[in-house]
Chain A
Amino acid sequence: MKRFIGFVIKEFNHILRDYRTMIILFGIPVAQIIIFGYVVRNEIQDVKIAILDLSKDEVTQELTNKILSSNYFILYKNLENNNEIEEVFKTGKVNEVIIFEPGFSQNLEKEGTANIQLLADASDPNFANLVTNYTNGIINNYVSELNKNSASPFTILPNVRFYFNPELKSAYMFIPGTIALILMLVSAIMTSISIAREKELGTMEVLLVSPLKPLQIILGKVTPYVLLSFINALVILALGNLVFHIPVRGSMALFMIINLLYIVLALSLGILISTFSNSQQTAMFVSMFALMLPTMLLSGFIFPIENMPKVLQVLSNLMPARWFLAIIKNIMIKGTGLLYVWKETLILIGFIVFFIAVSTRKFKYRLE
């Protein structure tokens, strides 16, 4: 028994002294629960909408007030005509457009029915569904209140349409998401591991003693992975197109360029990881936990960012995948061009510059 206790104590010592194990043991479940708990919510708040009121009468005003005072929605813009709808969706600023037909209250009074159209940006199908359901709920509420005080029943007929993705196919969501996740993982993990392997085997030293410049070494390591990751992206895209019929509505060239940019970003992140991990194991470990979970949970791949609490929304800004996802969803699903995504593109470039600057600094520091 004594021997056994001694053994257990030794084992505890191993675990307690290895802070990495402790982090996984306690940090990961805590982080997971908190993130999941807050991220996975089915209620909505402050969803931005635009209203096109072709009637502008008392009833539409009342209904608008009702919708806006619900806390679920914020008015982003009052539209003047139909032409603005497409535009406002493409900017991505608005999740839903509500259209009141002309002569709304007259129709309601004379015929007992009036039409309201709900358009939702369905590039995120689940969220679009949620938003229209909430709007419907408020409208129904309003109607039943109206009917309380009147003899003849009124009806308001909501006509729901999903923009960009009329069939609410979830593939519209997960094809771009998968591209973002896979490229990040493959590129970052592969580079960080392969650089760490050179260090482990001692070949890195020999390379550093040789006339090769550090930049040449790094570029040499990274070039094959750029190519492989790019092929990877094309495979996912082709599958999405052939099997799930997800088109690329915008410019294919732009789509390719953005993909390349994102791959370079992921690779530079991989290089950064490898500068502070000396073994393949550590590199693997850091890449998996530092990249996979946050990329999945906080990039808007699975859970809509609009729906997260403020803290997580701020955190999600730090996820390169978030910006990449925003861009490629715009290009693939909304068919927009660089004009609509230049900000996100600049952010991606900013990430690349930052990662490369930090890793060259670290690389040089190691040489000192």
Chain B
Amino acid sequence: MTREPIIIVNNLVKKFGHFVANDHLTFEVFRGEIFGFLGANGAGKTTAIRILCGLSFPTSGEVNIAGYDIYRQRDLIKKNIGYMSQKFSLYEDLTVKENIHFYAGIYGIGITEIKKRTQQLLEELELKNVENKLIKELPLGWRQKLAFSVAIFHNPRIVFLDEPTGGVDPVTRRRFWELIYGAAEKGITIFVTTHYMDEAEYCHRVSIMDQGRIEALDKPDKLKTRYNAGNMDEVFLQIARKTKIG
């Protein structure tokens, strides 16, 4: 894998009044990588991901996404990223096909192209027989797969997944990660936040945030060795405990 950085974050600070949500974050994510962004609730994950997606501006620091500057080239960034939130964000009163067409449309993909690739996608996901069903009639797992596919439909260079597996069962989560691997193989960089430590093991590298700071950043195996832990869960707990005491 070529080590070409696609997300460069340097001394990113975000304050809300006196509260420091992101305290001098510095990290890089490489092309084609699956990067796990972990941390307890309130650690500052969501704030950071919102900044990386261009939903809010940092208080200070430099952020470069896919070669574009976050302050001056937001429009270019937006064309090159995909985003999926924990709410799955599909329109419940639209059909499967209508959702795909709508989201593909706002990324400026031509209608013939959309139609062709929609059929491909529906076959891949085995959703061909429900293409005209409303989203609200589909089970959660299907919606989740669809939401992810929609988020990468325009072939973004990076896709941001904000707790994409919330509320689904382990089997469905497993299948979902197969989709993520598929996307990574196509060269899409995956930036994913999660609560589930077993999912952290699936990532190429993970960072662990606590109280606004990145406390650890490495491959899961290396982290386990360093903290002398059997699994990521223990690593996570040790880091959380350490900062509590310190």
Contact = CB atoms under 8 A, between A and B. Distances in A.
Contacts of A202: 85-89
A247 to B, nearest CB: 41
Interface string B87-121: 11111100000000001001110000000000000
A211 B108 contact: yes
Given A367-B55, A368-B57, A211 B106 contact: yes
Contacts of B53: 209
Nearest to A212: B106
A210 interface: yes
A201 B92 contact: yes
Interface stretch (B76-84, B168-176, B222-230, B231-239): B76-84
B73 to A, nearest CB: 12
A25 interface: no
B78 A205 contact: no
Contacts of B54: 209
A209 B88 contact: no
Nearest to B75: A211
A40 interface: no
B11 interface: no
Residue of A201, A211, A368 contacting most chain B CB atoms (<10 Å): A211
B64 to A, nearest CB: 17
B132 interface: no
A208 interface: yes
A205 B83 contact: yes
B87 A209 contact: no
A368 to B, nearest CB: 6
Contact of B78 (A201, A203, A211, A367): A211
Contacts of B84: 206
A239 interface: no
B89 A201 contact: yes
Interface residues of B, number: 25
A367 B56 CA distance: 5
Contacts of A209: 53-55, 78, 81, 83, 160
Interface in B40-92: 53-57, 75, 78-79, 81, 83-92
Q: Which size class do A's interface residues fall under?
A: 10 to 19
Contacts of B85: 202, 205-206
B91 A206 contact: no
A292 interface: no
A211 B103 CA distance: 11
A208 B107 contact: no
A104 to B, nearest CB: 73
B106 A207 contact: yes
B55 A208 contact: yes
Interface in A156-215: 201-203, 205-212
Contacts of A201: 87, 89, 91-92
Contacts of B78: 209-211
Contacts of B88: 202
Interface of A: 201-203, 205-212, 367-368
Interface of B: 53-57, 75, 78-79, 81, 83-92, 103, 106-108, 151, 160
Given A206-B89, A210-B106, 14 more contacts: A201-B92, A202-B86, A202-B89, A205-B85, A206-B85, A208-B55, A209-B55, A209-B81, A209-B83, A210-B78, A210-B103, A210-B107, A367-B55, A368-B57
27 contacts: A201-B89, A201-B91, A202-B86, A202-B87, A202-B88, A202-B89, A203-B89, A203-B90, A203-B91, A205-B83, A205-B85, A206-B83, A206-B84, A206-B85, A206-B89, A206-B103, A206-B151, A207-B106, A208-B55, A209-B53, A209-B54, A209-B81, A211-B75, A211-B78, A211-B108, A367-B56, A368-B56
